[in-house]
Structure 1
Amino acid sequence: MSGEPAHARGSSSEIKLRIASAVVLGALAIFVTWTGGILFAGLWCIAGAMALVEWLKVAGAGGLGWKIAGVAFAATVAVAPIVVRMDPLLGLQGILWLFAVVWGTDIMAFVVGRTLGGPKLWVRISPKKTWSGFIGGLLGGSIGGFLVTAAAGLPNLFLPTLLALLLSVSVHAGDLLESAVKRRFHVKDSGQLIPGHGGVMDRLDGFAVAAFLACAIGAARAGWEQVAQGFLMW
């Protein structure tokens, strides 16, 4: 029998499960994004529907204001990626850029937060989150956005990277917002669908906020038919 403490073994197993789930989901998301079309749209519509079911399970008892918020969240999950992917010139790059920003934020926040620890970000809302993780997440999201922008061969790298930094902040904000909702209704996870991660809401809270902001900025600059060009080309 190993001399490693039981809680340490459990923690190690949980991290391995999180990594395995993230790899599988990431590969699936990239494949479907690359394929595009009905498969891509269908997957995100299903994700939106599942997010709504989870939201209503968590906060449905909170009254009409909470139900409306759930519908808005689910609609963003379903519609925003489809709108970005439909851009005829940079749809694929736009989605990959969003993935890079969100995943870079999440991964670096987790790694740096666990490694360095330090002062807590907002104990009352999310006791495990630290300022070091927050800053690490900003760095990861910015680098992720920069790499995709550079790979796409776009002429202006600075402004999309600056936008990636802003969206990285929004990823943290979305995560904290969902944590606040779960704490308000005394729920630990929105579901158990994804091993090591919880439910669809738990995985897409930050992505939904970032995608909404990207779509709003892209549409304001280039119109709804060229959303990805609007937030990637400056």
Structure 2
Amino acid sequence: MKSSTGGNAGSAPPPPAAGKAGDLKVRVLSALVLGPPVLAAVWAGGWVFRAVLAVTALLAVHEWIRMVAADRLGGAVPAALVAMAAVLAVHVVFGPVVAMLAAFALAGVVTATVGMGRWLSGFGVPYVAAGVIALDWLRDSPLAGLGLFLFALLTVWATDIGAYAAGRSIGGPKLAPRISPKKTWAGLAGGILASALAGLAVALAVGAADPLLALVVGGCSAVVAQAGDLFESGVKRRFDVKDSGQLIPGHGGLLDRIDGLLVAAPVLALFHATVGAWLQWW
């Protein structure tokens, strides 16, 4: 007959695989719940889409402040939310360039609220604003807006999926072990390949002018998205934070889901407005 100690020892916790399977189930359910209304807003465009972007921006900057200024939330959170709302209003009235100038100016106000040595607090305003404004600009582009937005969104999604699949199946040398220990060079290669193929698929689906160039741009988008992911990982590591929040079950915070998109979207918008216009790729 087993002793009580032996019985407790025999009641081992579930193996890690079970925990991972449960976590994956929660992730999938969260995606199924949140995905359709977001995609519906993207399809609708206009003020419906802008309303979703506004909520996204306010939630994201709130998470940012909670990460980098947890000891000064009383003043920093209201300042950051008001600053972000003001930037979005300026964008609607005066356009993206003036809005970004306002974002950097208001970043100084937020920083002063927290403490002048805490520049990362204020940086959250232009960081989030650049991504949200770029997404709005891409979606609002004449004739090709929906296709461009889907290109930005799906290439970043493909980057995450390809990097995860390649990283888990191949492994190998770490990409940036001091910042994000789980990322590998194989994962980056898988993300680039998946993003390039996603970019090609979107270009073919919408009838873009140069699908092969879209393939290249998609691959480059993966590198930029991974850089954005590493940036947020570095900030979280600096402030000893595991997730930016708990908004999305199984995923963490909103910033954890859109960190790559917040960087990739402005780069794509700048490319499309400058070199892309000359190349007539879309």
Q: TM-score, normalised by structure 1?
A: 0.89
Look up the match of 1:7: 16
Q: Tell me what 1:40 maps to.
A: 49
Question: Equivalents in 1 of 2:166, 2:32: separation in Å?
Answer: 19
Between stretches 82-91 and 18-27, larger displacement belongs to 18-27
CA distance in structure 1 between the partners assigned to 2:158 and 2:34 by the alignment: 15
Number of matched pairs: 226
**Cα distance, 1:152 vs. partner?**
1.0
CA shift, 1:94, in A, is 0.6
Q: CA deviation at 1:64?
A: 4.2
What is the CA distance between 1:4 and its match in structure 2? Answer: 9.5
1:17 lines up with 2:17 in the alignment: no
Matched, 1:154 2:208: yes
- The 5 A counterparts of 1:59-208 are 59-60=68-69, 63-208=117-262
Larger radius of gyration: 2
Aligned-partner SS, 2:188: helix
For residues 278 and 233 of structure 2, the distance between their equivalents in structure 1, rounded to whole angstroms, comes to 31
Matching residue within 215, 226, 229 for 2:269: 215
Q: Which moved more, 1:10-19 or 1:102-111?
A: 10-19
Partner of 2:281: 233
Query: 3-state DSSP class of the match of 1:74?
Result: helix
Distance 1:230 1:183 in 2: 41
Which amino acid is 1:88 matched to?
Answer: P
Partner of 2:38: 29
What residue identity is the alignment partner of 2:198? G
Which deviations, in whole Å up to 9, do the C-alpha atoms of 1:158-197 show, x marking residues without a partner? 2121111111100110000100000000000000001111
How far the C-alpha of 1:59 sits from its partner, in A, is 0.9
Kindly provide the CA deviation profile for residues 34-74 of structure 1, in whole angstroms up to 9, marking residues without a partner as x: 11111101101110111111111101268442123200112
- Aligned Cα RMSD in Å? 2.1
Deviation at 1:199, TM superposition (A): 0.6
Distance 1:112 1:70 in 2: 31
Following the alignment from structure 1 to structure 2, what is the Cα–Cα distance between the partners of residues 175 and 231?
A: 29
Instruction: Output the amino acid matched with 2:146.
Output: L
Give the alignment partner of residue 54 of structure 1, picking from 58, 63, 68.
63
- Aligned with 1:121: secondary structure? strand
The answer for unaligned runs of 5 or more in structure 1 is 223-228
**Distance (whole Å) between structure 2 residues aligned to residue 47 and residue 74 of structure 1:** 9
SS of 2:172 mapped into structure 1: coil
| Cα drift, residue 232 of structure 1 | 6.9
Q: Could you tell me how far 1:130 is from its partner in structure 2?
A: 1.6
Amino acid in structure 2 at the alignment position of 1:185: F
Superposed displacement of residue 16, structure 1: 2.0
Deviation at 1:211, TM superposition (A): 0.2
Query: In 1, Cα distance between the equivalents of 2:66 and 2:156?
Result: 25
Contact 1:113/1:133, CA 8 A, preserved across alignment:
yes
Aligned counterparts of 1:20 and 1:108: Cα–Cα separation in 2:
20
2-side partners of 1:84 and 1:230: how far apart? Answer: 17
Where structure 2 has 5 or more consecutive residues not aligned to the other structure, the ranges are 1-11, 72-114
- TM-score of the two chains, using structure 2 as the length reference: 0.75
Residue number in structure 2 paired with 1:226: none
**Shift, 1:5, TM fit:** 4.3
Q: Is the 8 A contact 1:44 1:77 kept in 2?
A: no
SS at match of 2:182: strand
Contact 1:149 1:232 in 2 (8 A): no
- Checking the alignment, whether the CA contact within 8 Å between 1:217 and 1:230 is kept in structure 2 is no
